[in-house]
């Protein structure tokens, strides 16, 4: 009897195509949101994930670098270095700064680090090399693509001219992109020599992180210490708290639109074929049989929409990334499976909403 489900849908091809198209758009929206989220999630915290140090030391009450401010002075840095068991420290300074492009300023998350320490820099380089001098800068790949910067170009930050020596990835935090300069240059640029946002601390072998952390807190009570995993998790949570509500809201709207479109089609189908349903009821159709017909139709349409969405999604994303390189997406099989499951659940809800219409079809209608 699933032929009935298929054939009744096929009998109105334009309506069926429009419905599948509408639902496919909702599915694409969900795929896209998940992909942007994953891309932004990776881009936001990849810097921290790849700069694997033993301890991150920040100003007290600062828990992350994405949406928190922290200032640690050079004096505090020297005190950390003097604590027994601390092998090395590396200052990192984060500043929101504008890069001049033509007559417009483009904001970047300027990250100052000490290139000699080999930590605190870009996670991956896809072109050029890392910085080694104060007049050099590494730009994020999507930022460079968007504003057409390439290696050996010069960028202007305030009155300073810096040469682009490398292009990095894993540094696109969706709303902003990282750029890397020496910490000395950045301190000079903002006019606070010795200032840092945080210190990356490596501990001598034979010392536990807990011991060193306690010692730093004791010696420097105005600072906070995190091990790498905790600090990474703090930043992930911060990113999620800013991003996920938006993601869930838009995804929920997509899901509701999908459910409404599908319910409408199924309900119109039932109403148009109420005589058929009345005949089937009169002939002795069990309730479950008719309900299953509607569920089959819902699942058929949503599955077709998922296939269409999958075919369209990847070329569409490539096009979007070409037009807006700062939109960095990442799709995984798990994400796609989750979206497909959500869509199938929504289609089941649509069918349950439409099934209620069956109740209003009376057996007598077959005789009228």
- Min dist. Cβ of residue 308 to other proteins (A): 23
Run of H or E residues at 167: strand 160-169
- Min dist. Cβ of residue 337 to other proteins (A): 30
Question: Two tokens at 27?
Answer: 């599915």
Residue placing its CB nearer to other proteins in the complex, 8 or 215:
8
Residue placing its CB nearer to other proteins in the complex, 217 or 274:
274
Q: Name 110's bridge partners.
A: 95, 179
CB 120 within 8 A of CB 197: no
- Min dist. Cβ of residue 363 to other proteins (A): 4
- Min dist. Cβ of residue 301 to other proteins (A): 16
CB 122 within 8 A of CB 50: no
Residue placing its CB nearer to other proteins in the complex, 294 or 340:
294
- 236 phi, psi to nearest 5 deg: -65, -45
Residue placing its CB nearer to other proteins in the complex, 319 or 364:
364
Helices 228-272 and 274-282, axial angle in degrees (round to 10): 80
Helices 2-10 and 287-323, axial angle in degrees (round to 10): 50
Residue placing its CB nearer to other proteins in the complex, 67 or 275:
275
Closest among 238, 295, 249, 322 to 30, alpha carbons compared: 249
Residue placing its CB nearer to other proteins in the complex, 4 or 147:
4
- Min dist. Cβ of residue 286 to other proteins (A): 6
Q: Are strands 160-169 and 124-128 parallel, antiparallel or unpaired?
A: antiparallel
Residue placing its CB nearer to other proteins in the complex, 213 or 269:
269
- Min dist. Cβ of residue 364 to other proteins (A): 6
Largest Cα–Cα distance of the chain, in whole Å?
96
Closest among 190, 244, 179 to 36, alpha carbons compared: 244
- Min dist. Cβ of residue 275 to other proteins (A): 7
End-to-end CA distance of the chain: 25
Residue 23 neighbours by CB distance under 10 Å? 28
Question: Two tokens at 178?
Answer: 């990282």
Residue placing its CB nearer to other proteins in the complex, 221 or 367:
367
- Min dist. Cβ of residue 9 to other proteins (A): 9
Cα dihedral 25/29/30/36 (nearest 10): 150
Q: Name 199's bridge partners.
A: 57, 91
Residue placing its CB nearer to other proteins in the complex, 283 or 323:
283
For other proteins, the binding residues (CB under 8 A) are: 1, 3-4, 7-8, 11, 273, 275-276, 279-280, 282-287, 289, 363-364, 366-367
Query: Using DSSP, how many helices (H) and how many strands (E) does the chain show?
Result: 10, 10
- Min dist. Cβ of residue 283 to other proteins (A): 5
- In Å, what is the CA distance from 245 to each residue of 1, 37, 250? 43, 11, 9
């Amino acid at each position: 009897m699933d032929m009935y489900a298929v054939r009744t849908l096929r009998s109105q091809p334009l309506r069926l195509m429009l419905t599948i198209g509408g639902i496919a758009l909702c599915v694409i929206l969900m795929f896209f949101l998940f992909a942007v989220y994953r891309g932004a999630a990776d881009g936001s915290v990849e810097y921290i994930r790849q700069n694997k140090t033993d301890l991150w030391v920040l100003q007290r009450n600062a828990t992350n670098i994405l949406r928190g401010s922290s200032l640690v002075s050079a004096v505090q840095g020297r005190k950390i270095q003097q604590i027994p068991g601390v092998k090395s420290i590396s200052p990192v300074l984060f500043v929101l700064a504008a890069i001049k492009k033509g007559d417009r300023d483009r904001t970047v998350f300027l990250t100052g680090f000490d290139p000699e320490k080999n930590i605190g820099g870009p996670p991956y380089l896809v072109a050029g090399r890392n910085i080694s001098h104060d007049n050099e800068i590494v730009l994020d790949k999507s930022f460079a693509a968007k504003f057409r910067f390439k290696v050996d170009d010069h960028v202007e930050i305030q009155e300073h001219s810096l040469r682009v020596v490398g292009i990095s990835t894993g540094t696109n935090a969706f709303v902003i992109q990282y750029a890397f300069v020496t910490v000395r240059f950045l301190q000079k640029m903002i006019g606070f020599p010795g200032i840092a946002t945080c210190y990356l601390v490596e501990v001598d072998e034979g010392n536990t992180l807990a011991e060193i952390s306690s010692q730093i807190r004791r010696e420097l009570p105005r600072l906070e210490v995190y091990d790498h995993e905790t600090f990474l998790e703090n930043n992930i949570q911060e990113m999620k708290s800013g991003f996920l509500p938006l993601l869930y809201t838009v995804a929920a709207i997509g899901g509701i639109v999908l459910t409404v479109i599908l319910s409408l089609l199924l309900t119109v189908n039932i109403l148009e074929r109420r005589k058929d349903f009345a005949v089937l009821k009169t002939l002795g159709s069990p309730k479950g049989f008719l309900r299953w017909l509607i569920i089959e139709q819902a699942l058929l349409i949503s599955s077709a929409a998922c296939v269409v969405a999958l075919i369209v999604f990847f070329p569409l994303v490539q096009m979007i990334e070409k037009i807006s390189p700062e939109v960095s997406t990442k799709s995984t099989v798990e994400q796609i499976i989750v979206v497909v499951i959500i869509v199938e659940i929504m289609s089941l809800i649509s069918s349950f909403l439409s099934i209620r219409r069956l109740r209003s079809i009376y057996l007598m209608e077959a005789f009228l």
